[in-house]
Structure 1
Amino acid sequence: MFSHISLALTAALLLSTAFASKSADVNVLYNFGNSTWAENLAVRANGQILVSRLDKPEILQVDPTGANSPITVASWDSPTMSGCLGISETTPDMFYVITDGVYNADSVLTSGVNSIWEIDMSTFAVSKKTGAVVSNATVSKLVDITTSGLLNGLTTLTDHTILAADSHNGWVYHINTHSGDYKVAINDEKMKFDYFPNPTLNIGVNGIKVYDGHLYWTNTAAGTLNRIGITGKGTPVGKSEILANNVPKADDFVIRSDGTAFIAQNQVQGNELSVLYPKSHVAHVIAGSNTSTIVTGVSAGKFGRLQNDKHILYLTTGSSSVTMPGTVSWVDTTKI
């Protein structure tokens, strides 16, 4: 029996070491300049990347080849609008994005309102010769979420429903993209910023994703990745569970087709990109550290959609520092 236990412990140690030894080289695709913040992203079917800016309410299209400069797709000019956050595609080239009001240091809304906007990219066209926009995206407000505290992560449930995370209130909204009707769909204790005692910030549920019949989410204050079963209508089924609790200040994340989760851990919060493999409950850092600037302010990730970049994980990073830039960066996940 002793030898069996020893072998099992040795195997577990070797597996943990193998996971921990994996690392990712981070490459900058585009630098937005100091004191900027690229918050979230979505990848179009044609490979172009839509990026939301947190430092100002703006959506940009970024060319993954780097051949063309970023193009403004949508922007808003309002003193009661702080920036853009989650973005998600429902049907081909139909995107929805969150714009938020103005907040204080405690993440409490002080003016404005949190809203969901529709961006129809099917009307967007750029000249191949000059790179100039020849036809704009069709942008319209879907709904103001007047009961929300801090809208943050966004994901697609069906072709006409999206889910939005309210980081301050600690719940998730179900929003009908045809009617604009919304309601609180999931209100779980593990979404609250005070799920664990003495939280250091007032941001709970942050990134959210629908995968394999479950809603996954990060809790930034708790430093966890969690999930709960859901129906096709977004109703919770059964009890929620914590998948990993060693991702301090986890922001958004992405789940690869094999179930591996890549978790962004944002700036004052850790400056790390971690990976959680299926059936594991311990995440491992693959890039950055709390003393490194390699992925300073990494906030979200999405995989490429073309044959030549499906293994590439594109990342948004951002910083309120006057000496650090927001970027779109990328890592090759082939061996991770």
Structure 2
Amino acid sequence: MTVDNKPKLTTIATLPEHYFLENIAVRADGSMLVTALNRKELWWVPAPAENATIGAVLVDRLDGLPMSIVEAEPDVFYVSSMAPAALDRFDLRGWTPGAPVNRTRALTFASHAAGLNGSCLLAPGVILIADCAAGLIWRVNLTEDGLAGTAKVWLRHDSMAPGTDPEQAVHLTQTFSIPYPGVNGVRAAEHSDYVYYTGSWEQIFMRVAVDPVTHEPVGEPEVVAKGIHAVDDFCMDENSGVAYITTHIDNTLYRVPLDPSTPATEAVVMVGDPIDHQFLGPSSAAWGRGTGDYGRIAYFTTDGGHTPPNPAGVIKPASVVRAEFRADGVSS
């Protein structure tokens, strides 16, 4: 199902063609952090402004392939990486674009943690990280000073399993590949005791209840929506009871109810039918931090069609795209 009133899209930043922009976090001042997966880089993007004269600025180069970004305390971010599987802490308090950054290796994972992908803050000092190659979600407990952490398996489920067809392996660089991803995006609901996640190989959107005291999963995960091909990462509008889910290689954005018992459970295509060249290779999403932005203004990373298969048949610069919605999920 598609909608007639689609969100208004505006490209606010670009990087060169064949940059795989993976994840995004919006800072309190409206600027953004973006991971460039295949370039092993973390970038800063200024807050959108009509008279902006500064573009994206390189923050740092990492030794692994940077994936997701979590803000664990104000202006302190944790970036997870593959190859090696690690978690780096970036303290941006007092940092200015172009200045050296304060980075600390908080955790190096065991060798079987092969595919760190999406992540979220579950509770103060507690981070969840989806492992799309191992088919599970890790729980990281940070130390009180945030400079280190320990990891254990938080949840493993069949819905998180990666692909089994070697011909569908994902070649992230010329030298590093993973199976077709299993569990991909993961988000903790702020107003209910649920964690939501996507399973790319199973084409599924799931949720699991969480104990509010121990922050451990309770009971079996349940299906929220299924049959969404190439499902990737997402953001949630809990006020409207919906999630906006990207499909990376299908170039689409879906709107899906968060409650599986909701009568209107059909996924709705918001962007991508027909293909929009501003929205090629969408990966992650984050709400703006301004007054009234939540549920209305979201930012998406794209790779410009870098990742095959590419049904658009074109390659565009990688970009950060602003989407403007109405509060009910339909564009203004």
Q: TM-score range by the shorter chain?
A: 0.7 to 0.9
Segment drifting more, 25-34 vs 63-72: 63-72
From 221, 227, 239, the equivalent of 2:207 is 227
Equivalent residues of 1:162, 1:176 under 8 A apart: yes
Instruction: Say yes or no: does 1:329 pair with 2:321.
Output: yes
Residue 218 in 1 paired to residue 194 in 2? no
Q: Map 1:204-283 to 2 at 5 A.
A: 204-211=182-189, 212-232=192-212, 233-258=214-239, 259-267=241-249, 270-278=250-258, 279=262, 280-283=264-267
Distance 2:269 2:166 in 1: 25
Asked whether 1:72 is paired with 2:36, we answer no
Cα pair 2:136 2:183 within 8 Å, conserved:
yes
- Residue type of the partner of 1:181? T
Displacement of 1:199 in angstroms is 10
Offset at 1:210? Answer: 0.6
Letter in 2 for 1:333: F
Equivalenced residue count is 294
CA 1:238–1:308 in structure 2 vs 1: closer, same or farther (change >3 Å)? closer
Which TM-score applies when normalising by structure 1?
Answer: 0.81
Does residue 42 of the first structure (1) align with residue 28 of the second (2)?
no
Q: Does the residue aligned with 2:3 lie in a helix, a strand or coil?
A: helix
Quick one: distance in 2 between partners of 1:183 and 1:254? 25
Cα contact 1:222–1:249 (8 A) shared by 2: no
* Equivalent position amino acid for 1:141 in 2: R
Distance of 2:38 and 2:168 partners within structure 1: 22
| 8 Å CA contact 1:303, 1:309 repeated in 2 | yes
CA offset digits 1:109-147 (Å, max 9, x no partner): xxxx21100011113125xxxxxx3x5331111111123
Give yes or no for the alignment of 1:160 onto 2:125: yes
Summarize deviations over 1:202-245 as a string: whole Å, max 9, x none: 21100000112111000011111100101243311112111111
After superposition, give the CA deviation of every residue in 1:79-101 in whole Å (9 maximum; x if it has no partner).
Answer: xx3x2111111111111011211
Between the aligned partners of 1:317 and 1:282, the Cα distance in structure 2 is: 25
Q: Which has the higher helix share?
A: 1
Larger radius of gyration: 1
Alignment of 1:26-37 (within 5 A): 26-37=9-20
Query: What residue is the counterpart of 1:117 in the other structure?
Result: 88
Post-superposition offset of 1:193 = 2.6
Q: How far is 1:194 from its partner? A: 5.2
Match of 2:102 in 1: 138
- Contact 2:287/2:298 (CA < 8 Å) preserved in 1? yes
Q: Secondary structure of the residue that 1:181 maps to in structure 2?
A: strand
- Cα deviation, residue 45, structure 1: 1.0
Kindly, what percent of the aligned residue pairs are identical?
24
TM-score (norm 2): 0.82
Structure 2 alignment gaps of length 5 or more: 170-179, 308-313
What is the alpha-carbon distance in structure 1 between the residues aligned to residue 183 and residue 42 of structure 2? 23
